[in-house]
Structure 1
Amino acid sequence: MLIKRRYKHFKRYRQVANILARHGFGYLLDKLNLTDILPYHQRIKQTSEEEQHSEKTRGERLRLALTELGTTFIKLGQILSTRPDLLPKDIIVELEKLQDRIPPFPYEEVKEHIEEEFGAPIEEIFECFHQESLAAASIGQVHRACLKNGKECVVKVRRPGIESVVEVDLEILFDLARLAESRSALSRHYHLVEIVEEFTWGLKRELDYSVEGRNAERLDKNFLQEEDIKVPKVYWDYSSSKILTMEYVEGIKLSNFKLLDELGYNKRTIAENLSKAILKQILLDGFFHADPHPGNLFVQKDNKICFMDFGLMGYLSDERKKQVIKLVLALVRKDSIKIVKSILEMGSLSKGTDIDKLKKDMDMLISLYYSVPLSKINIGEVITEVLELAFTHKVQIPSELTLMAKTFIILEGVLKELDPSISVVEIAEPFAAKLIAHQYNPKNLAKDWAENFQDYFDIVSKIPQKADRILDKAIDDDITIKFELQNLGRIFAYIDRIANKLSFSIVLLSFSLVMAGLIIASAIGRGGSEFFWQIPVLEIAFISSFILFFWLIYSIIRSGRF
């Protein structure tokens, strides 16, 4: 299947391999046995090109390679930049610079795409449509327009043919991930195939503009009672999976700090409103904007904040939300024991996880912050450090937590520009404490118990039936009990070492006896050591025994179990 797909997409495979080799990653192709895809002259040039790129850091080279590879790989790099548990910091810093900005495609294609999607001329759909795009990215571009009822809107149009390009790239990524896992224990430890599966799910949702529209509606619903937050409306009659039409919002980009100052906006109020909005999304709603950089935020009158671009959103289940609240509170209170407890609740343990060592290392990490005031603590960086430590102890951390940490880091970067005195930690502590008190309120506990009562009742009601099945199997002698002995491999290795030492002793003794016999035979023999038709039996026997002896010793030592 892998070979079939490799030749099906041979042209793109070769293009990917060429770009990787050109940016000094030929050794990866060697490890994956993919150098045969490269043209012969390119294989020869690999070493010289790697030397040529040696003045650039590995992070720079990777960023340049991903940029050249296009949409899918740029998106992959952006997602990996949120995973400090997978990549070292120097590479993450470079991947954060990846820009998903490319020249717009022609208006003629935009017009054709819209008319094909809605089955009518563009003049009948919109009162006016600006031919020049407001912004262009690898997946699509945005145009300003006006509906027939006079309402201003923005129309996001998916780039024609992008879906098939992404589909091919995703198949190639799957192949590379499977190949890497089959040949590298480290790749299996990092679960590369799972990472690609998760990335595929997210990218396909990003390609579907109807998903982005639903994300915007859900976020808007969560802020219905908040006067300080604005989310543009979706015009579903003019939207589909390939086209998204939303309300046009007037405002100042949050990145334009100079204009905000000139027009007299209160940057401290803006910072507080933004902090509370993100904390509400994460801790209360469990549904958050995962890319709140200044380009995706507008400021309106009365310091109201408007969120834009809903392609990348984070999701937290109710259970995960409770765990995150506990983690944030434990971090704020610098309680390393509760931090470890929260991490273990959220992550999945590997066999090699040493919990006592994890607690000790977490103590050392948190001790660095004991004398640091809350206002000086960057919660995003602290969460990232905690997750990195957990990963080094082989605790598998859910990706939504690393995305949440990245969101906090972006938020704190924006706050530094707006008002450095604002601390997310100081705002988060009373927020999280209030939520904890709300969760453990007797009334809410009773409500949770009532909601779970049916599940508990189903479990208890099935006990007699399952017990009856076990008894039936016991009567029919059909019960199989499986035992798994811990450290069985070590026990067998120890037995092997003992057996090898014993074998060594026996062989040494046997060799000594053979040598003694040969020497005695030589001494009592007539005419020296030549017996049986003048053949030097003694010398041949000695050499054969010597070779066999050392061959056996070499085999035992080579096995590593001696």
Structure 2
Amino acid sequence: MPSQRSQWSDQPPSRNLMKLTSIPQLYRNLRRGREILRVLRRYGLADWISRTRRLPLQNWIKDRSGVPLTQYTRSQRIRMAITELGPTFIKVGQVLAARPDLVGNEIAEELKQLRNEVSPDSMEVVETTLAEELGPNFRKHFRHIEPMPLATASIGQVHRAELMDGQRVVLKVQRRGIEKMMREDLDVLEGLAQWADHVESLAIWGPSDMVRQLMPMILRELDFNRERSNLKQFAQILEADKAEIVIPSVFDQLCTRRVLVMEEMVGEPLAKVFERDVHSPSRETGEMTRADLPPELGRTLARTYLRMVFEDGFFHADPHPGNLFCLRDGRLAILDFGMTGRIDEAMRESIEEMLAAINAGDCRRLTRLIRRVGNPRVDLDQSALEIDVADFVDTYGRQTLDRFDLSGALNQLSEILHRHGIGLPNQSALLLKMLISLEGTLREIGVGFDSLDIVRSYLRRVMIRRLTPARRLRQARRIYLESEAFMENAPEQLLSLMNQARLGQLQVRLEPKRFAPVVNRLVVGLMTSAVFLGSALMLSYEVSPVLFPDQPMFGIQRVSILGLVGLIASFSVMVALCLAILRSE
């Protein structure tokens, strides 16, 4: 994707008031912005109604099926509002479902139910996209394209097809106009986040920072070239395991930014296999059930994903049963590489140290690691965090491997991070999401093996690898290079700092965000008081021009017009200021 200087740049946003040249994109998309605000207000109104139990109209606001909104929980209303807002916000919700550290476990679990209820593009529209991407003669590459889509999502839809040489493939085509619509919606969302930054109760969660974390992940899915690159890279990584794990091959000459052509996997997704009962009539049709899964399937799956994390540092971030195919020859195929994650050596070592700290019951060390890996707030309560971490270690650090609840441990850790406002980097959050999804899939397979035994074997190998001379040499070399760079730059920077202090050019910039509304209101109050006193003096001294200079009216004579206008204006500002203070609690 060509680089653009836009709102998605890596430069930190200004914390000052917005300039005219940086007006939020909300104003550029006023119609869509009004629609979004209307939906959000509609579903948020139920919170106010639900507090007033005796209000006779509380059940008048209903969903499409006629159920009053007050009967739904807040999490359910959030999901309903996101669903009504359309594909872009559904995709945002699906990303947030993988970030319980940002939204909490309750909302994350509810957002996992989001489904893309979109009607597929017609075959004529699909053919138009293919002609734009592959050329007007795109039909020379395909013998047949099935008009009925195999699957439909918010960004693209999948069709079965057959190449001229008889090769069966699947064709993933981006939906018409989806990129323009998503960019407009994301502009509006950025504008809403900028406004939320000025609301004290919302600003502590950093709405703009949250948007900057989520939006690149969503925009990357619009470029199918990234998924093609991921497919080829994972095929290379898992080449030695192709007897057990299969990655679909891609046809580079037919792939573009909006079209992806890859090998068709003949089999069934594990999600369909899990839905069938062992004794169901489908056994007579030859369809696979849970009992037909290979005994080594779960062990292969766990070993593959742990290898991705602890050895390759590049992992498939969405191992839910719908993306895992059990082929007819018993092998496992992994699909949908639009969401992947990377972790560097430093992050991998931090994860290893956290697991070791949990195993050793070292709460203080685990707390330090959480602070180092995450992005804690400035006002983080260290003692409260240590208490929660100690409770976490007491609960899960003493469990035996055969009773260890991995998904429960990860969910509670996410809840601790959310409670204390500790955000995770995108890649760490993706890893957390992957582990939770993997644990759920392994639990569904239920092939009677201890997945944590594999984790323990990997950790043993990791600890041995960390003590090898080769790793120590790499670590020493990295420390030496960083120290050399520091020793080269530190004296120059220190001299520059001392020179600025000597010349009186040293400046300290403070950004008291929480005090800004208080200071603004104080200044407005002082100015209003001054105007009120000045207007009162002008009324007392009958400063010209005056009303009723000759004859009194209702007992009033020689009233200063300037003083009266100033008095009314200052009184109105004082009333508005008092109401604003009351509304902000």
What TM-score, normalized by structure 1, do the two folds share? 0.76
> Which residue is 2:111 aligned to?
95
Which of 376, 379, 392 is residue 365 of structure 1 equivalent to? 392
* Amino acid across the alignment from 1:270: L
Distance 2:139 2:348 in 1: 47
For the pair 1:222 / 2:231, whether they are aligned, the reply is no
Query: Quick one: structure 1 residues 128 and 424, their matched pair in 2 at CA, closer, same or farther if it must change by over 3 Å?
Result: same
> Which residue is 2:523 aligned to?
none
Cα displacement string for residues 260-282 of structure 1 (whole angstroms, at most 9, x for unaligned residues)? 4488442x311111111121222
Helix, strand or coil at the partner of 2:173: strand
Distance 1:107 1:292 in 2: 30
> Which residue is 1:461 aligned to?
488
Aligned 8 A contact 2:360 2:397 in 1: no
For the pair 1:190 / 2:205, whether they are aligned, the reply is yes
Query: Quick one: structure 1 residues 470 and 277, their matched pair in 2 at CA, closer, same or farther if it must change by over 3 Å?
Result: same
> Which residue is 2:317 aligned to?
290
Equivalence map 1:392-411=2 (5 Å)? 392-411=419-438
* Amino acid across the alignment from 2:269: K
Which of 416, 435, 447 is residue 443 of structure 2 equivalent to? 416
Equivalence map 1:118-137=2 (5 Å)? 118-137=134-153
Which of 258, 266, 271 is residue 250 of structure 1 equivalent to? 266
Query: Quick one: structure 1 residues 53 and 251, their matched pair in 2 at CA, closer, same or farther if it must change by over 3 Å?
Result: same
Aligned 8 A contact 1:16 1:69 in 2: yes
Aligned 8 A contact 1:102 1:136 in 2: yes
For the pair 1:49 / 2:61, whether they are aligned, the reply is yes
* Percent pairwise identity: 27
Distance 2:491 2:27 in 1: 57
Name stretches of at least 5 consecutive residues in structure 2 with no aligned partner: 1-19, 49-56, 277-286, 516-580
Query: Quick one: structure 1 residues 237 and 367, their matched pair in 2 at CA, closer, same or farther if it must change by over 3 Å?
Result: same
Distance 1:264 1:391 in 2: 40
> Which residue is 2:371 aligned to?
344
Aligned 8 A contact 1:376 1:423 in 2: no
> Which residue is 2:32 aligned to?
12
Cα displacement string for residues 520-550 of structure 1 (whole angstroms, at most 9, x for unaligned residues)? xxxxxxxxxxxxxxxxxxxxxxxxxxxxxxx
Which of 354, 359, 381 is residue 408 of structure 2 equivalent to? 381
Q: Which moved more, 1:171-180 or 1:361-370?
A: 361-370
1:55 positional shift: 1.3
Query: Quick one: structure 1 residues 151 and 328, their matched pair in 2 at CA, closer, same or farther if it must change by over 3 Å?
Result: farther
Distance 2:155 2:375 in 1: 35
Say how many residue pairs are matched.
470
Distance 1:284 1:435 in 2: 9
> Which residue is 1:272 aligned to?
299
Q: Which moved more, 1:278-287 or 1:386-395?
A: 386-395
Aligned 8 A contact 1:375 1:421 in 2: no
For the pair 1:68 / 2:80, whether they are aligned, the reply is no
Q: Which moved more, 1:384-393 or 1:216-225?
A: 384-393
1:205 positional shift: 0.4
Query: Quick one: structure 1 residues 7 and 342, their matched pair in 2 at CA, closer, same or farther if it must change by over 3 Å?
Result: closer
Name stretches of at least 5 consecutive residues in structure 1 with no aligned partner: 29-44, 490-557
* Amino acid across the alignment from 1:116: E
> Which residue is 2:220 aligned to?
205
Helix, strand or coil at the partner of 1:311: coil
Helix, strand or coil at the partner of 2:140: helix
> Which residue is 1:554 aligned to?
none
Equivalence map 1:426-505=2 (5 Å)? 426-463=453-490, 465-466=492-493, 469=496, 477=503, 480=506
Q: Whose Rg is larger?
A: 1
Q: Which moved more, 1:325-334 or 1:2-11?
A: 2-11
* Amino acid across the alignment from 1:49: I
1:287 positional shift: 1.9
Aligned 8 A contact 1:391 1:397 in 2: no
Distance 1:466 1:14 in 2: 50
Higher relative contact order (CA 8 A, sep 6+): 2
* Amino acid across the alignment from 1:69: L
Aligned 8 A contact 1:378 1:424 in 2: no
> Which residue is 1:151 aligned to?
167
Distance 1:125 1:100 in 2: 30
> Which residue is 2:125 aligned to?
109
What TM-score, normalized by structure 2, do the two folds share? 0.73
